[in-house]
């Protein structure tokens, strides 16, 4: 068992796991790690440095030397605010591409583990419970149907005033899920020891409450 308490929340894109993980962290006074942001930052930094997303050694080099930090709600890359730049659909696709490269995942591993600090950590991603924090005290696999997730992403984009097309979003989500599940390293999958939280028809509050209830159950 690791000394620092860790809650690992994994699941597919747009399942709402980021929002739930953040709220659980707030409720418990724990630190929060958005591991997807690290893959997104890597994809963005690669573009800025002129490194192609399929150049494994090149992108791993970018990941290993990533000058990025989480500063409250802001995500800073090379001393510039990259919070919205990393949320574009294009960078999402890039993140999924670079995340399939073993050397890139290896380059980000220790960095992710470094976020486990007292009094505890809530980490969300695809392999928090399987690879990064296999000894997490609580593992949750948070999911929702593709239709519900596409709808949530659509509202998110529309809310930011970005152009959004529901059919394109659904197709993109499905393609990204397929890539995340099919890759040979750390594929997206529910761990045998993870609790399943299906959020179709479940609001954020109820999802947060469920995770907190599981956490209390663990004592």
Nearest Cα to Cα of residue 164 among 88, 218, 113: 88
Question: Nearest distance from residue 3's CB to ligand DC, in Å?
Answer: 22
CA dihedral for 121, 135, 194, 129, sign (positive or negative): positive
Nearest residue (CB) to ligand DC, 182 versus 196: 182
Q: Write each residue from 109 to 128 as x if it is in contact with ligand DC (CB under 6 A), else as -, in one continuous string.
A: ----------------xxx-
Count the neighbouring beta carbons within 10 Å of the beta carbon of residue 47. 15
Distance between CA atoms of residues 103 and 59, nearest Å: 8
User: Total number of residues binding ligand DC (CB under 6 A)?
Assistant: 14
What residues contact residue 172 under an 8 Å CB cut-off, 6+ apart?
89, 92, 93
Nearest residue (CB) to ligand DC, 111 versus 195: 111
Nearest Cα to Cα of residue 176 among 201, 199, 153: 153
If one asks whether residue 149 binds ligand DC (CB under 6 A), the answer comes out as no
Q: Write each residue from 163 to 182 as x if it is in contact with ligand DC (CB under 6 A), else as -, in one continuous string.
A: -------------x---x--
Question: What residues between 76 and 95 interact with ligand DC by CB under 6 A?
Answer: 92, 95
Nearest residue (CB) to ligand DC, 59 versus 99: 99
Nearest residue (CB) to ligand DC, 95 versus 148: 95
If one asks whether residue 15 binds ligand DC (CB under 6 A), the answer comes out as no
Exposed, middle or buried, 211 (CB in 10 Å: 0-12/13-18/19+)?
Answer: buried
Nearest residue (CB) to ligand DC, 17 versus 216: 17
Interface with ligand DC by CB under 6 A: which range of 35-43, 77-85, 145-153, 162-170? 35-43
CA dihedral for 10, 70, 20, 156, sign (positive or negative): negative
Rg of the chain (C-alpha set): 16
Q: By the criterion CB under 6 A, which residues form the site for ligand DC?
A: 13, 35-36, 39-40, 92, 95-96, 99, 125-127, 176, 180
């Amino acid at each position: 068992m690791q000394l620092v308490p860790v809650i690992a929340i994994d699941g597919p894109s747009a399942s709402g796991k980021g929002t739930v993980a953040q709220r659980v962290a707030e409720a418990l006074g724990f630190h929060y790690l958005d591991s997807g942001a690290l893959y997104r930052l890597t994809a963005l930094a690669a573009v800025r440095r002129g490194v192609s997303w399929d150049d494994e050694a090149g992108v791993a080099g970018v990941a290993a030397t990533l000058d990025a930090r989480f500063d409250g709600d802001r995500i800073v890359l090379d001393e510039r605010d990259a919070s919205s730049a990393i949320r574009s659909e294009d960078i999402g696709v890039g993140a999924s591409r670079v995340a399939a490269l073993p050397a890139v995942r290896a380059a980000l591993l220790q960095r992710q583990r470094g976020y486990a600090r007292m009094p505890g950590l809530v980490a969300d991603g695809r392999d928090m419970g399987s690879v990064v924090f296999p000894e997490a005290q609580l593992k949750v696999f948070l999911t929702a149907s593709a239709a519900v997730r596409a709808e949530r992403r659509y509202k998110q984009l529309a809310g930011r005033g970005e152009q959004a097309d529901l059919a394109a979003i659904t197709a993109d989500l499905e393609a990204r899920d397929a890539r995340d599940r099919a890759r040979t390293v750390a594929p997206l999958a529910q761990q045998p020891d993870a609790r399943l939280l299906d959020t179709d028809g479940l609001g954020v509050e109820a999802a947060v409450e469920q995770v907190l209830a599981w956490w209390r159950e663990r004592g």
